[in-house]
Amino acid sequence: MSSNADLASRVDTSDEWIRTRTGIHQRHLADPGQMSSDLAHQAALQALSAAGIAAADLDLIIVATSTPDFIFPSTACVLQAKLGAARCPAFDVQAVCAGFVYALDIADKFIRSGAYKRALVVGTEVFSRILDWSDRGTCVLFGDGAGAVILAAADRPGVRASVLHADGSHAGILSTPGQLCGGKVTGDPFLRMDGQAVFKLAVRVLDEVARETLALCEMQPADVDWLIPHQANVRILDATAKKLGISPAKTIMTVDRHANTSAASIPLALDVAVRDGRIKAGDKVLLAGVGGGLTWGAVFVEI
C-alpha cells in the first residue's frame, strides 16, 4: 500500500492536494516481481471460491488488461495455466478502463450463444509500470489491482442489457504511445493524459451510455439500486451520479482506497460492495466504464 504521503516524498505533491482533487487516499502497488497474471490469479481464486466451482469447470476465460505480462502469449493464457484450467478458450481484451465492461459483455454473449456455460472475467492491471513518477498529474491517480467475476448460464438472465461504444478520434487525450522496435522502446512509454478533456468526455458519455443501456430494458435511473462507475476520481464519480440523478448513497466508491486501477476498478468496487453486504441478491446494479481509445460502455445486471 502506498499512501499520499509516500508519494509526496517522490514527487512535488501533498496529501491535501491529492485528496481535494481526486478523492484518493492511497493505492496499492505491485511488488517488482508481480505481474498482471499474478494479481489476476488471486482475484480468480476468490471468485471461484465465492461461486463454489473449480477452475476445471470453466469453459471460457477473458482477461481485460492494458498492462499484460508479455506482448504474447496473452495474460489470459498465462492465468489459465496458473489456474490449471486447461483447454478452455482464453484471450485478452484491451479497452483500457472500459475493459471490464467490454469483457463482461463479450462473456455474456458467448454464454447466450449456448456454446459455453461458465466464464471467468477478470480485470487486472499493474499501471505502476507505465507511470511517469515525476508527473504528478498522472502518477497520483493510478494503482495496481485485480477483480474477477464468474458468469454462468441460468434460466434467469443476470445481465439485463449492455451497450459498448468507441471513438478513436479521441485516442490522443489518454494514451501510452510507446512501442517496441528492434529490441528497444521507441516513442513515449509512459501514460499521458489531457485531464480536462478526459473529464468532460467521461462524464458526458457515462451519462449517455447508462441511459441507453437502461432504455433497452425499459428502466430509468431511479430503478437502479447501485451505480458502479469506473473509479477514475471522485469528481467524475460525483458528476456522473448527479447527471443521472442517482444518490451518492447508491453510488459505490472505492477510489479512495484503490485509486484508478483501470480495468480492475469496477470488479474491485463490486467485490467490496458485495462482501460488505451493501449489494445483495436481487439488486439491480449498473456498471459503467470509460477509458482510453476512447472506449466506453455499460452493463445493467441483476445480482
Annotated catalytic residue within 97, 139, 233, 258: 97
* C-alpha cell, 262: 483501470
Distance of CA 255 to the CA centre of its chain: 12
Q: Give SS3 for 149.
A: strand
Based on the residue annotation, tell me whether 181 is a catalytic residue of this protein. Answer: no
Helices 234-244 and 195-216: angle between axes, nearest 10 degrees: 40
**Catalytic site residue from 4, 230, 233, 258:** 230
Measure the CA–CA gap between 22 and 140, rounded to whole angstroms: 9
Active site residue 233: no
**Nearest-angstrom CA–CA distance, 31 and 112:** 39
3-state secondary structure of 92: strand
Strand pairing class (295-302; 159-166) = antiparallel
Q: Indicate which residue of 4, 41, 88, 260 is catalytic.
A: 260
217 classed as catalytic: no
Taking the C-alpha atoms of residue 176 and residue 75, their distance in angstroms, rounded to an integer, is 19
Cα-Cα-Cα-Cα dihedral sign, residues 86, 87, 88, 94 = positive
Catalogue the active-site residues. 97, 230, 260
